[in-house]
Amino acid sequence: MKILTANDLATGDVVWWAGDGWSRLLEQAVDTGADGEDIGKREEAARHVVGAYVVDAEQTADGPRPAHIKERIRGLGPTVRPDLTLKPEAGDLTAWVI
């Protein structure tokens, strides 16, 4: 599947295209098919987000898993600061990232 990520223009938060808007949660990312780039351009032009790009991912039981480690870290947060990830209660998620 193809998913779309970007940063919120004003806050810089990492966001994922969730079909009808942006979500901070990777698990809410939807398959954008061939439309990802167009959605990204439209949303950038509307000044909602900046730096939109399409990412290859695989659908899993826990939601989309990006194909590349960079976006897995992007989706979670820094592996060296589990307290600052989006899932601080889950502890060390290095295994999921790698």
Q: How far is the CB of 97 from other proteins (least distance, A)?
A: 9
2-8 β-sheet, strand order: 22-23, 14-17, 2-8, 49-60, 63-66
Residue 15 or residue 17: which is nearer to other proteins going by CB? 15
Residue 11 or residue 60: which is nearer to other proteins going by CB? 11
CA dihedral angle for residue 51, residue 80, residue 27, residue 30, rounded to 10 degrees: 30
- Cβ atoms of 5 and 74 within 8 Å: the answer is yes
Residue numbers of the site for other proteins (CB under 8 A)?
Answer: 7, 9-14, 44, 47, 50-51, 67-70, 73-74, 77-81, 84, 94, 98
Neighbour tally for 60: CB within 10 Å: 9
Q: How far is the CB of 51 from other proteins (least distance, A)?
A: 5
Residue 8 or residue 35: which is nearer to other proteins going by CB? 8
